[in-house]
Amino acid sequence: MSILIRDLPFAALDFESAGERPNEAGVPIQIGIAWMQNQTPDPNSFFRSYLRAERRVTWAAQQVHGISSADLKNAPELHSLWPELKTRLGNRWIVAHGSGTEKRFLRAFPLHGFGPWVDTLTLSRKILPGRSSYALSDLVTELGLIDEARGLLPDFRWHEALSDSLASLLLLRKLIDLSGINDHLAEILMTL
């Protein structure tokens, strides 16, 4: 059964990491999830959590997102959040800006089955060609979405997992509107 884009249930996902080190991939230290149904973000769905890491947060990463190793002291491990993630991400289209990081961190749950995925970075490059920057913060600011983000999430700030999740949803909604595909079948999102 086909569904129209305007009726799709979306869940935006974002992770912040401890930072990369030579010969070592980053590890997640914060997760944020936000839902959008009928093109309306749902503040009741907002979820964020710090995540316990086996190593210290790099100085460079702390400068970006402001999360220190001390913030993670009593945080749960990512694996312990599986029931929460299954409920929040299951049966929804997953949205992320540059989805590679989110997909990589979800490998902690082999065969999770989340998706289909919508990458707002890829969509932005196709729908808004020629921009000097495709950073989430630049696009959301340029498109005039920042006030709505702050209205929905009063403690909104860049490089914070829930804030970036919400920003990705607002950007997706704007891209759908700009491209005029709201009343198209969902499958078109897979071909853009």
Give the DSSP per-residue string, 148-164.
HHHHH-TT--TT-HHHH
Predicted confidence pLDDT, tens digits, the chain (192 residues): 589 999 999 999 999 998 876 655 678 999 999 999 999 999 999 999 999 988 888 888 888 888 988 889 999 999 999 999 999 999 999 999 999 999 999 988 888 899 999 999 999 999 999 999 999 999 999 999 999 999 999 999 999 999 999 999 999 999 999 999 999 999 998 887
- Determine the pLDDT at residue 21: 66
Residue in 53, 10, 51, 13 with CA at minimum distance from that of residue 32: 13
- Determine the pLDDT at residue 74: 93
Domain spans, the chain = 5-191
Per-residue exposure over 20-50, b if at least 16 CB sit within 10 Å of its own CB, e if not:
eeeeeebbbbbbbbbbbeebebbeebbbbbb
Q: Which two tokens stand for residue 173?
A: 């909604």
How is domain 5-191 classified at the CATH fold level? Nucleotidyltransferase; domain 5 (3.30.420)
- Determine the pLDDT at residue 38: 94
Reported pTM: 0.94
CA atoms within 13 A on the CB side of 25: 8
